[in-house]
Amino acid sequence: MTKYSIAILLMNIFGCLTCFSQVAPDCINATPICKNTPVNAGTNGYGVDDFNGASVSGCIEASVTIETNSAWYRFRVGKSGQLGFNIGYDSNEDWDFALYKTNDCDDLGEPVRCDFFDNSDGSSYIGIGEDPTGADNIQYKDWLEVTANEDYYLLINNYSNNNSGFSIQFSGNIFIEFPNTALDCDIIDNLLGPPISACDTETVILDATTFAALKYEWYLDIGTGYQRIPNENEPQLSVAVSGMYRVLVLRPSGNNLISETQVAYVPSPVTYPVSDETVCFDGTAINLRQKDAEALENQSPFEFSVTYHASLEEAINSRNALPKEYIPTMPSETIYVRTTSIENGTCFDASESFEINSVELPTLDFDTNIFMCGESPVVTIGEELSDSNFTYEWSSGETTSSITVAKEGVYTLSVSNKQGALKCITIRSVAVIFSTPPVITDIRIAYEDDLSNVVKVFLEEQGNFEYQLDDEIPQNSSIFNDLFPGEHTITVNDLDGCAADFVEIVVIGFPKFFTPNADGVNDKWQVSGLLVLDNPIVRIYDRYGKFLHQLNKSSTGWDGSFKGTLLPESDYWFKLSYTNSQGQSMNAAYVNNHFTLKR
C-alpha cells in the first residue's frame, strides 16, 4: 500500500482520534499498555465511580467526585530499575494523574505518585522523573524504583472544560537499557498486539497470522470510521500511516476473529548544524540551552528536546546528558548533540557535534597576604615569571607581572589573554601589611607562695603575636602560671613572619614571710629550686641595700640575724646569680623580690 500523507495525521490527530482512541474511563476496563504508547485523544466523562464516593486519594481531592474526565491504563513492569513517564497536553488545560501499585481495581490503596496542581504555570507536561523540556517543573514527582512483575494502574484526569488530548511517553533507565521489554506485553491479549508508537521513518509490520485462516481482510480508521484497505489479504500488513487498524480473519464454520490495534507515527527530528564555541577556560559555565535553537532550527521545542553528550556513543544511547549549565573540563572538547522526539524517545538524531575551544588563562598563585617588616620595608609582589602571550595591569598602574611596593594596601593584578574578539581575564589581589617585630621590654614574676607563681610578658607594642614557654605549644596569652623552678626561655613570635624575640628567666620558690622565734615552724627563710641551677648564690639585703647574708645550694637557710644580732621585723630583699647553660655567670634579671621577717 502507498504511504498516506503525514499531513492527514496532523490535521486529525486531536480532532478525530476520539472515535478510535483506546481510552477506558473505568479502572476495571483499564487499557493495557507496553513499549511506547501512541497519542490518545483525551477523555470525556467517566463511567462508574472507582473511588466509591471518596473525595480524597493521595494528593487528589475533589468536592464531588475524584474522577472528572478520566482515562485508566494498566501496565506490568518487565525489568527492575528506574521508571518515569511524561504526560503531554495543551498548556492551557489542567490535567492530573495518580499511579497505583496494585493488580486489583477493588484494592487501589493510596497512589505511589500523584499530581494535583492547577497548572497555573502553563506547563505542557506532568509526570514522574524529569520534564523532557529540561524545565524545573513542580508538577514532576520523583523517579520510581520498580521491580520486575509489579502491576500498576494509572489514572489520568482532565479538570478542564477544554480537552485537546494527551500523550504518554515512558522514561527512565529501564527504557534506555531494555526498550522492548521494560514493560511486559503479555498482559495484552490481542492478536495484533499492543498499541505501537513509531518514527515516521519506520515501517511497521502488523502480523495477524493464525491457524485455520481462510482469508484476511484489513481495515483502517483515520478518524472517519473503518474503511477496507484494497488488495490487502495477506496475514501481514505493512503500515506507514497513523490510525486504528483492524483485521478480520475468516475461518471455517464462521468462527472468525477480529482484532484491532493503534499505530501512531511520530515525526523524526533532524539535528541542524551547531556552531563552535570559544570560551574562557576559567570555570565559567556555558549555557547550552542557547544552542538548542540552532539544533532545532524551525522545529518546535515542545515536540523535540535537545541534549548534549561527551561521546557519540552516549548521544546515541541517550546516556549521561551534560548539564545545560556546562563547565568545560578540557581546553578542547567535542560535544555531541542529540535531538529526541518528546512523544517517542526512540525517534532521535545524533548526527551533529560542535567544538568547545577554551582560551588559556594563567594560573596566578602568588601569596595574597604579604607582611612587610622593619623600619623601611620594601617588598616585591606578583608573578616572578611573565608570559609574553599575556597582558599585565596592576591597580597601581604598572604593567609588569611583578612590582615592588613600600606602602601598605591592596594591590590587584589583572592578566588578560585576547583571542580575536574574546578577552579572558584572571584577577588576583594581594594585601600588603606592615608588621612590627615583637620587642620584650619586661618580665614580671609574681610569687604567691613557695609553689605558685605568675609570669607575665610585657612588649614594646602589641601585634599579632604568640607566646611560647621553652618547647611547649605556643599560646595567645602573655601570662604563664605555676612554672617549675629553674631556667626557662620565653619566646614571642610574630605570626605575620616578622622575626621573634626571646628572654631567659629563672623561676624559684620562696616563702613570703618567716618567723625566727625558735618554735620549730618557719624559723628559717630558704629558697627552693636552687638544686636545679648551676652555682646559685642568693644575696639578702635590708631596705637600704645593706648586704646581710648569702645562701647557696648547701645552705640550710637564714635565721634572721646579722653577725649574731637578731634583726627587727621588716621587709628584706634578695638577688640571685647563677651560671647559665652556656657557662656564663648571670644575674637573674627578673628575680629581685622581697619577703617579710616577723617576730
CATH number of the domain that residue 459 is part of: 2.60.40
pLDDT of residue 20: 38
Q: What is the per-residue pLDDT for 397? A: 93
Report pLDDT digits (tens) over 434-478: 888 899 999 998 887 666 889 999 999 888 899 999 999 999 999
Q: Greater confidence, 534 or 176?
A: 534
The CATH number given to whatever domain includes residue 46 is: 2.60.120.380
The dihedral region occupied by 583, where left means phi > 0, alpha psi between -120 and 50, and beta the remainder, is left
pLDDT at 18 over 80: no
Q: Which of 66-75, 180-189, 314-323 has the lowest mean pLDDT?
A: 180-189
Write down which residue in 304, 327, 359 finishes a domain: 359
Residue 291: is its pLDDT beyond 50? Answer: yes
- To the nearest whole number, what is the mean pLDDT of the chain? 87
Q: Are residues 96 and 183 in the same domain?
A: yes
Same domain, 97 and 141: yes
Beta bridge partners of 584: none
Residue 78 shares a structural domain with residue 171: yes
Residue at 409 is within a domain: yes
**Between 52 and 298, residue with greater pLDDT:** 298
Q: Which residues of 463-486 are buried (b: 16+ CB within 10 A; e: fewer)?
A: bebbbbbeeeeeeeebebeebebe
CB atoms within 10 A of CB 324: 17
Residues 131 and 160 in one domain: yes
Last residue of a domain, one of 435, 460, 489: 435
- Name the more confident of 7 and 544: 544
Q: Is residue 12, in this structure, part of any structural domain at all?
A: no
Instruction: Give the per-residue pLDDT at 394.
Output: 95
489 belongs to a structural domain? yes
Map grid coordinates 609574553 to a residue. Answer: 388
The domain boundary residue, chosen from 341, 359, 377: 359
For position 475, what pLDDT does the model report? 95
Do 44 and 20 contact (CB within 8 A), yes or no? no
Closest CA to 277 of 320, 311, 327, 348: 327
Q: 376 or 575: whose pLDDT is higher?
A: 575
pLDDT at position 189 is 75
Q: Is residue 99 part of a domain?
A: yes
**Do residues 405 and 466 share a domain?**
no
Q: Does a structural domain hold residue 300?
A: yes
DSSP string, 453-482: EEEEEEESS--SEEEEETTSPPBS-SEEES
Q: Note the pLDDT of residue 580.
A: 86
Residues 489 and 578 occupy one common structural domain: no
What pLDDT is recorded for position 451?
66
pLDDT at 9 > cutoff 50: no
Size of the chain in residues = 599
pLDDT of 38: 61
* Torsion angle defined by CA atoms of residues 222, 224, 225 and 231, in that order, rounded to the nearest 10 degrees: -60
Same domain for 450 and 547?
no
Q: Does the pLDDT of residue 421 top 70, yes or no?
A: yes
Task: State the residue range of the domain holding 564.
Answer: 513-597
Together in a domain, 138 and 222: no
Q: Which residues of 375-386 are buried (b: 16+ CB within 10 A; e: fewer)?
A: eebebebbbeee
| Residue 268 falls inside a structural domain | no
> Strand 140-141 and strand 125-128: pairing?
parallel
pLDDT band at residue 503, thresholds of 50, 70 and 90?
A: very high
Pair 353, 390 in one domain: no
The mean pLDDT value for 195-209 works out to: 91
DSSP conformational letter for 539: E
pLDDT at 3: 24
Whether 195 has a pLDDT exceeding 90, the answer reads no
The confidence score (pLDDT) of residue 40 equals 65
Based on its alpha-carbon atoms, the radius of gyration of the chain, rounded to whole angstroms, reads 46
pLDDT of residue 41: 63
* The pLDDT value given to residue 6: 26
Are residues 246 and 163 located together in one domain of the fold?
Answer: no
For residues 63 and 567, which has the higher predicted lDDT (pLDDT)? 567
Higher pLDDT, 22 or 508: 508
- Tell me, yes or no, whether 556 lies in a domain: yes
In the chain, the number of structural domains is 6
Give me the pLDDT at residue 59, please: 92
pLDDT tens per residue across span 506-533: 988 888 889 998 888 999 999 988 888 9
Residue 43 pLDDT class (50, 70, 90 cuts)? confident
Bridge partners, 458 (sequence order)? 442
Pairing mode, strands 257-266 and 196-199: parallel
pLDDT of res. 2:
26
- 48 and 151 co-located in one domain: yes
Using 50, 70 and 90 to split pLDDT, how confident is the model at 47?
A: confident
Predicted pLDDT at 39: 57
With cut-offs at 50, 70 and 90, classify the pLDDT of residue 78: very high
Residue 489, C-alpha cell as written in the block? 626561655
Residues 241 and 3: their CA atoms lie apart, in Å, by 6
Among the residue ranges 261-275, 282-296, 432-446, 566-580, the one predicted with the least confidence is 432-446
The pLDDT value recorded for residue 442 is 92
In the structure, what pLDDT confidence band is assigned to residue 396 with cuts at 50, 70 and 90?
very high
Looking from the CA of 218 toward its CB, the CA atoms found within 13 Å total 23
Do 142 and 79 fall into the same domain?
yes
The answer to whether residue 377 is domain-embedded is: yes
